A and B are shown apart, each in its own frame.
Chain A
Amino acid sequence: MQCGKCQHQAVISLQHGNLCKNHFIDYFEEKVFKTINKYQLIGRDEKLCVAVSGGKDSLTVLYLTKKYLEKNNIPIGNLIALAIDEGIEDYREHTLVDLNKFCTEHRVPLTIVSFEQELGKTLDQAYPIINKDAQKKPCNVCGVWRRYLLNKHAKKLGADKVITGHNLDDEAQAIIMNIFKANTTLAARLGPISGVQEHDLFIQRVKPLYFCAEKEVRLYALLKNFQIQFTECPYSKEGYRHHIQEMLNDFEHKYKGTKQGIVNSFLAMLPLLQNQEKKAPQTIQQCSRCQEASNKDVCNACAMKETIQNA
């Protein structure tokens, strides 16, 4: 099948036509740069911390953030990468190898922080202990600690923004998950810029791949020859998200544009959700244990850490 813009063979069929390798790369990069500009995700004098894992999304967002800075004559000395090693056997150690190589090749300083160093246990060790008392799934435990360490260490590294590799599929899944669970408070924190309230204890998180489908990200990473081994978190199928992901992929296959439609509808409603949250804002205070942001006396990360220590 031929590209809609030239004589070369198409590598992808999109709703608006077929694209060859070069036209797809241009289309993809332009979409990411337009998102950055439209939502003002990157400021000229900001220190930018890219949250990385070594997977396709984070390597793509790191590469394109650097390219955006170069294209706009913004000094790349303010770009750093931060990875969280959860301690998941036969998974994270592989992606960290790819990540180290990538950051060395692209000359981006990388900091790796581990659950084990910071919280005393790997996720593999912590999860059965926490699960026993609180019926938490590994993804809930992992999510709390990852967000906590990312915010804490990005702040420590002097970052003004954390850039994440969240893509269109991630966002559509999160929107549907929050709707199914009637969680409008969490829904209001979604969008290309995370969060409702600005606060000194929080580093703003931004998502340049917001409008890029997961399939497009994988294709871009492949066409750019990023060295990524296929890895799958052993816990990924245990989460609620996995079921939503399969459901949305089935819908997308039958009704093209479903995921984009979910995200576009959500963006139209987001100001209303955010205004509602602003009317009754959650009180943000410092955790009495770690001094990080919390909406109660002890933050969730410290509460889980104490559960482990007391086990």
Chain B
Amino acid sequence: MYIEIFNERERTTTKVEFTGTKVRDLLSQLKLNPEAFLVVRNSEVITEEEILQENDRIELLSVISGG
């Protein structure tokens, strides 16, 4: 399935082919540490155990503000 991802840190939106089922699989596929990101879908924060659907639009918010 395809998922649209907005990465706050990179300020980019990309569509990726996702082979897993849960948010944790997506972060793992993108090689992102869950400690460093919050995941938002339809303005709701979701946990790593949430199941993703075709054409979901996901926002990856950086936890680390780096200052």
Q: Residues of A contacting B62 with CB < 8 Å?
A: 218, 230, 232
Q: Residues of B contacting A253 with CB < 8 Å?
A: 33-35
Known: A1-B49, A9-B44, A250-B33. A55 touches B38 (CB 8 A): no
Q: Which of B2-57 contact A (CB under 8 A)?
A: 8-9, 33-36, 38, 44-50
Contact of A222 among B45, B49, B50 (CB under 8 A): B45
Contact of A218 among B38, B44, B50, B67 (CB under 8 A): B38
| Chain B residues touching A, range | 20 to 34
Asked if A11 is at the interface of the complex by the 8 Å CB criterion, the answer is: yes
Q: Residues of B contacting A134 with CB < 8 Å?
A: none
Complex Cα spacing A141 to B33, Å: 30
Contact of B61 among A9, A11, A230 (CB under 8 A): A230
Contact of A12 among B9, B33, B47, B67 (CB under 8 A): B47
Nearest Cβ in chain B — how far from A1, in angstroms?
Answer: 5
Which residue of chain B lies nearest to A230 when distances are taken between CB atoms in the complex? B8
**B47–A1 touching, CB < 8 Å:** yes
Contact of A219 among B33, B45, B67 (CB under 8 A): B45
Contact of B65 among A12, A232, A237 (CB under 8 A): A232
Instruction: Mark A46-59 against chain B: 1 for CB-CB distance below 8 A, else 0.
Output: 00000001011100
**B46–A215 touching, CB < 8 Å:** no
**A236–B46 touching, CB < 8 Å:** no
CB-defined A-B contacts under 8 Å, sample of 13: A1-B49, A11-B46, A13-B47, A55-B65, A57-B65, A91-B67, A230-B8, A230-B65, A232-B64, A233-B67, A236-B67, A249-B35, A253-B34
Instruction: Mark A248-268 against chain B: 1 for CB-CB distance below 8 A, else 0.
Output: 011011000000000000000
Nearest Cβ in chain B — how far from A50, in angstroms?
Answer: 16
Complex Cα spacing A91 to B36, Å: 20
Complex Cα spacing A134 to B61, Å: 37
Complex Cα spacing A252 to B63, Å: 14
The secondary structure that dominates the B interface is: loop
Asked if A276 is at the interface of the complex by the 8 Å CB criterion, the answer is: no
| Chain A residues touching B, range | 20 to 34
Instruction: Mark A211-241 against chain B: 1 for CB-CB distance below 8 A, else 0.
Output: 0001100110011000010111100110000
Q: Which of A1-54 contact B (CB under 8 A)?
A: 1, 9-13, 18, 21, 53
Complex Cα spacing A242 to B47, Å: 25
Q: Residues of A contacting B65 with CB < 8 Å?
A: 55-57, 218, 228, 230-232
Q: A11-B45, A12-B45, A245-B64 are in contact. List 18 more A-B contacts (CB 8 A).
A: A1-B50, A9-B46, A10-B47, A11-B47, A53-B67, A55-B65, A215-B38, A215-B63, A218-B62, A218-B65, A219-B38, A222-B61, A230-B61, A230-B65, A232-B9, A237-B66, A250-B33, A252-B35
Known: A219-B38, A230-B8. A249 touches B33 (CB 8 A): yes
Q: Residues of B contacting A219 with CB < 8 Å?
A: 38, 45
Chain A CB within 10 A, most for which of B49, B50, B63 = B63
Nearest Cβ in chain B — how far from A94, in angstroms?
Answer: 11
